[in-house]
């Protein structure tokens, strides 16, 4: 059974640009959540989607947005990139019968120059 797949794995952008990251959850999982990991702030929750609806949102500015498609794949978008957005962005999926256990992808490492 395939795990959580995130693309791209690495990318470099410049300030002011926008970026879109993709996450394909484990087959059958309908919940996808996103996290930002930085050396200074650690892992912080961005948002969670379930059945194409945002169910919960962390404390990030509106430049960070996401969506989920009918096949449970999810994308997150960051507009008007800032240097501080450089981070490892992790996606996790959860199944209905997994008792809340999260399964993470390898992450997308974003560098903003």
Partner 1 sequence: KQEVTQIPAALSVPEGENLVLNCSFTDSAIYNLQWFRQDPGKGLTSLLLIQSSQREQTSGRLNASLDKSSGRSTLYIAASQPGDSATYLCAVQTGANNLFFGTGTRLTVIP
Residues at the interface with partner 1 (CB under 8 A): 4, 6, 31, 33, 35, 42-45, 48, 55-56, 58, 88, 90, 92, 99-107, 109
Our CB check for partner 1 shows the closer of 15 and 100 to be 100
Alpha carbons 51 and 34: distance in angstroms, whole number:
15
CB of 16 to partner 1, least distance (A): 27
7 in Cβ contact with 107 (< 8 Å)? no
Beta carbon of residue 64, minimum distance to partner 1 (angstroms, whole number) = 14
Rounded least distance, CB 38 to partner 1, Å: 11
Task: Choose between 19 and 90: whose C-beta lies nearer to partner 1.
Answer: 90
The residue (of 75 and 106) whose beta carbon lies closer to partner 1 is 106
State the minimum distance, in angstroms, from the CB of residue 67 to partner 1: 18
Q: Structure tokens of 79?
A: 């507009």
d(CA 76, CA 69): 12
Which of residues 11 and 88 has its CB atom nearest to partner 1 in the complex?
Answer: 88
**74 closest CA partner among 51, 101, 108:** 51
């Amino acid at each position: 059974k395939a795990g959580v797949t995130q693309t791209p794995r690495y990318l470099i952008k410049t300030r002011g640009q926008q970026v879109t990251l993709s996450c394909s959850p484990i087959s059958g999982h309908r919940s996808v959540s996103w996290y930002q990991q930085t050396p200074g702030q650690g892992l912080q929750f961005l948002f969670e989607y379930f059945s194409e609806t945002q169910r919960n949102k962390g404390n990030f500015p509106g430049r960070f947005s996401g969506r989920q498609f009918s096949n449970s794949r999810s994308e997150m978008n960051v507009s008007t990139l800032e240097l501080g957005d450089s981070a490892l962005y992790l996606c996790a999926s959860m199944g209905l019968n997994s008792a809340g256990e999260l399964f993470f992808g390898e992450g997308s490492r974003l560098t903003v120059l």
